[in-house]
């Protein structure tokens, strides 16, 4: 659902339900643990029946979440190998897939409601992480080509291993190392780059203490607050979960740097976890003269999320871009 600057045109794509996952999301229904356990017995040790008489896993156990992710990626996306180093971010697959599907709809919204597929579509994942989730889903669902930026050498090694052991076609998923913690796009963009859109899941806490406090609140909501030592929610290293100034500072810096590469990207985008950060983000986008800004709402159960997209391309430049890159897709 778009809440800012929607296009006035008929949608041929399936409309998004306000309270649920994207209709093309392969996990838009409750997990069928019985069937998954039958097919993948390694999951059985983590499954139990909760107080609501439903089968589930303990999402506070990192190995349980990693195992579930491996199975979901294998079962729904054909990913034969997936793993991450201990204590690194282990993201929920359905939420990550939703971002990708909404970005596909974003491209369709300026392409006669047709989603462009194939490796002519190029995507930059800012902060690809050890899990490499967005490129895996984006390539298998739509055939898009990805470049993923990352500053952590351990995460780079992990993402590279995932790509290598799944035998992706050459140049389908490329990892680029960011050498400077003070920059986001500087040092990553090359003169020849043309990205149809960028994605980012920014660190949203301003300190490790804040990240741990947020995790305690989530575990309490899950009814497991009595455990003595709880891991960070879905794991995560410091650069994955927090930065000085938190989400607002990170996204503000991203917006400033995006203006330096205004005509190398059709759509810039970033997740925004805290709705209270939106006014300052809109102000920053106004200050760099972004020509169009949209906020796209998403939902996973009771959890609400959103991402903000912007472009510096005027209508004629958008048309040229589509004709040159998407016309034959």
Q: Tell me the DSSP string of 200-221.
A: E----BSSHHHHHHHHHHHHHH
Measured CA to CA, the distance from residue 203 to residue 214 in angstroms comes to 13
Locus of tokens 């290293």: 237
pLDDT at 6 over 50: no
In a domain, 50, yes or no: no
> Nearest Cα to 24, choosing from 159, 112, 186, 138?
138
In a domain, 72, yes or no: no
In a domain, 145, yes or no: yes
Q: How many domains does the chain have?
A: 1
Q: What is the DSSP string of 107-154?
A: HHHTTTT----STTSEEEEET-TTT-HHHHHHHHHH--EEEEEES-HH
Percent of the chain beyond pLDDT 90? Answer: 72
Backbone angles phi, psi at 95, to 5 degrees: -65, -40
Beta bridge partners of 145: 122
Q: What confidence tens digit (pLDDT) does each residue in 151-177 have?
A: 999 999 999 999 999 999 999 999 999
Q: Which residues contact 118 (CB under 8 A, 6 or more apart)?
A: 142, 143, 144, 329
In a domain, 106, yes or no: yes
Q: Specify the 3-state DSSP secondary structure of 194.
A: coil
The CATH number covering residue 177 comes to 3.40.50.150
pLDDT of residue 148: 98
Q: What confidence tens digit (pLDDT) does each residue in 63-82 have?
A: 999 999 999 999 999 999 99
In a domain, 126, yes or no: yes
pLDDT of residue 14: 38
In a domain, 3, yes or no: no
pLDDT at 16 over 60: no
Measured CA to CA, the distance from residue 329 to residue 316 in angstroms comes to 20
Domain with 179 in it = 92-325
Helix (H) or strand (E) holding 305: strand 303-311
Where is pLDDT greater, at 223 or 246?
Answer: 246
Where is pLDDT greater, at 178 or 235?
Answer: 178
Tokens, residue 87:
């204590």
Band the pLDDT of 243: cuts 50, 70, 90: low
In a domain, 274, yes or no: yes
**pTM (2 decimals)?**
0.85
In a domain, 123, yes or no: yes
pLDDT of residue 295: 98
């Amino acid at each position: 659902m778009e809440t800012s600057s929607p296009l006035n045109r008929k949608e041929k794509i399936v409309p998004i339900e306000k309270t649920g996952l994207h209709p093309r999301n392969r996990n838009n229904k409750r997990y069928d643990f019985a069937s998954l356990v039958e097919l993948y017995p390694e999951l059985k040790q983590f499954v139990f029946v909760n107080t609501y008489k439903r089968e589930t896993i303990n999402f506070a156990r990192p190995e349980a979440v990693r195992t579930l992710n491996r199975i979901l990626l294998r079962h729904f996306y054909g990913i034969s190998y997936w793993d991450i180093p201990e204590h690194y971010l282990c993201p929920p697959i359905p939420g990550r897939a939703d971002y990708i599907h909404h970005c596909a709809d974003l491209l369709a919204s300026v392409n006669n409601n047709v989603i462009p597929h194939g490796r002519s579509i190029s995507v930059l994942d800012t902060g690809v992480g050890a899990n490499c989730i967005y490129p895996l889903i984006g390539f298998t669902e739509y055939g898009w080509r990805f470049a993923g930026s990352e500053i952590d050498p351990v995460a780079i090694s992990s993402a590279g291993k995932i790509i290598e052991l799944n035998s992706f076609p050459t140049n389908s998923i490329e990892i680029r190392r960011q050498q400077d913690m003070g920059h986001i796009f500087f040092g990553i963009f090359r003169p020849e780059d043309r990205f149809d859109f960028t994605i980012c899941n920014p660190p949203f806490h301003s300190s490790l203490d804040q990240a741990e406090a947020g995790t305690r609140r989530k575990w309490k909501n899950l009814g497991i607050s009595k455990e003595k030592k709880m891991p960070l929610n879905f794991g995560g290293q410091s650069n994955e979960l927090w930065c000085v100034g938190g989400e607002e500072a990170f996204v503000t810096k991203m917006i400033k740097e995006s203006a330096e590469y205004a005509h190398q990207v059709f759509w810039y985008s970033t997740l925004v976890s805290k709705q209270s950060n939106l006014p300052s983000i809109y102000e920053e986008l106004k200050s760099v003269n972004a020509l169009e800004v949209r906020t796209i709402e998403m939902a996973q159960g009771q959890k609400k999320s959103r991402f903000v997209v912007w472009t510096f391309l005027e209508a004629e430049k958008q048309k040229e871009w589509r004709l040159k890159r998407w016309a034959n897709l």
